[in-house]
Amino acid sequence: MSTFLLSVGFIQSIADSSLFIYSHGLHTIYFLLYVDDIVVTGSNDRLLQSFIDVLGRGFDIKDLGPLHYFLGLQVTTHSHGLHFNHIKYAHDLLSKHDLLFSKPVSTPMSAKFVLTSTNGVVLANHTVYRELVGSLQYLTITRPDIAFAVNLVSQFMSQPREPHLIAVKRILHYIKGSLSHGLLFTPQRQPVLLSAYSDVDWAGCPDSRRSTSGYLVYLGSNLISWCSKKQPTIARSSAESEYRSLAHASAETTWLGYLLYELGARIQFPILLHCDNLSTTYMASNPVFHARTKHIELDYHYVREKGAQGSHRVCFIPSKDLPADLLTKPFHKSRHLLFSCKLVHPEGPSLRGAVKDNQSSPLNSQ
């Protein structure tokens, strides 16, 4: 497939090898390939249809029309944008484990519930737990509000215990009450601002005392990337752990900047990196804390270099306004709702079936 695309004038993206881009005058076609599933979209309907016809003569494909369903993701067209969710996937998951009519809860994890690798009885059957966690990991593609909880229960796959299974089932109860939630993408005026929010729960793991990093990346008002992950080494200070998390966010925004450039989007510079640690903001701009920074690996000084180049700028933000906090620790209902509404949105009225220009089309290659 890639050989054929390159032969007809497409260019393979450097940032994402599964993306191919074709430019002809003022018109563009974007071709996204995942094994034998394809999404193709363009700025001109006639050019797009002629390309699909050429593709059909070279490959056994089936045009499924405007994009509604792709790799388990449901796409709904609204008057104000696109909504991505996993309603059917989540519904089937709940049905499979007899939780479709369960009582919903308001948070994916109790704020007072502490999971460790030693408390509780070891489960007799590990398979069910691993299947559940694996299914939830795929669900986080459109549900960043459960990213921290799923990251936490994923750490006990080798020897799950009863408290771990209880935590997994609570996530499912939370999903039951928020089935229609997903990602909302609305049009943005160019140049658009690319910004990141980074946070850390310092030494939050009771077993290893490693910190949990979390970041969110927004393109304008649209959430496009996020991560909740335990740091690989122990941080000796909160500033060090925050700085590591900030470096990951900086690297992610740098990669996204390259990808957006290839897509023809114009973004504002500098890219803003928000964190709630004053020491981290000072370290990123002024390398004078030598005693504090000697033990930090050199690759984390990447943030300083980006700041010196002018491509990024580190900004302080109070913890109460930092949505990335939701990816590092569990919260009570009120605070969880405050942050989660900045990440996911319920599905609204659909315009599915309406004929519109520049529609994306999923194809299936046999």
- The last residue of a domain, from among 16, 34, 63: 63
Question: Within a domain: residue 235?
Answer: yes
Which structure tokens are listed for 292?
């504090």
- The model carries a pTM of 0.91
Residue 232 predicted with pLDDT over 60: yes
Give exposure, 220-248, as e/b (b: 16+ Cβ within 10 Å): bebbbbbbbbbbeeebeebbbbbbbbbbb
CA 62 – CA 65 distance, rounded (Å)? 9
**SS3 label, residue 40:** strand
Note the pLDDT of residue 119. 92
Residue 358 predicted with pLDDT over 60: no
CA 61 – CA 51 distance, rounded (Å)? 13
Judge if 26 and 147 occupy the same domain. no
CA 342 – CA 348 distance, rounded (Å)? 16
Counted domains in the chain = 3
- What are 273-330's pLDDT values in tens digits? 999 988 888 877 766 655 556 666 666 778 888 988 999 999 999 999 999 999 999 9
Question: Within a domain: residue 44?
Answer: yes
Judge if 171 and 192 occupy the same domain. no
Judge if 39 and 120 occupy the same domain. no
Judge if 56 and 91 occupy the same domain. no
Question: Within a domain: residue 365?
Answer: no
Burial label for 51, CB within 10 Å (0-12, 13-18, 19+), is: buried
Question: Within a domain: residue 97?
Answer: yes
Judge if 196 and 316 occupy the same domain. yes
Domain that holds residue 133: 84-176
Mean local confidence (pLDDT), 21-44: 93
Question: Within a domain: residue 339?
Answer: no
Contact 75, 69 (CB under 8 A): yes
Strand 192-201 to strand 267-275: parallel, antiparallel, or no bridges (unpaired)?
parallel
pLDDT band for position 239 (cuts 50, 70, 90)? confident
Judge if 57 and 104 occupy the same domain. no
Average pLDDT of the residues of the chain: 90
Question: Within a domain: residue 78?
Answer: no
Which structure tokens are listed for 98?
């007899």
Rg of the chain, C-alpha, whole Å: 22
- The last residue of a domain, from among 117, 146, 176: 176
The CA-based angle 330-134-243, given to 5 degrees, is 45
Question: Within a domain: residue 96?
Answer: yes
Judge if 121 and 214 occupy the same domain. no
- What are 250-263's pLDDT values in tens digits? 999 999 999 999 99
Mean local confidence (pLDDT), 73-97: 92
Question: Within a domain: residue 254?
Answer: yes
Which structure tokens are listed for 100?
């479709």
Share of the chain above pLDDT 90, in %: 73
Which structure tokens are listed for 145?
């509000």
Note the pLDDT of residue 333. 94
Judge if 51 and 96 occupy the same domain. no
Judge if 170 and 248 occupy the same domain. no
* For the ranges 34-38, 204-208, 222-226, the one whose mean pLDDT is highest: 222-226
Judge if 206 and 309 occupy the same domain. yes
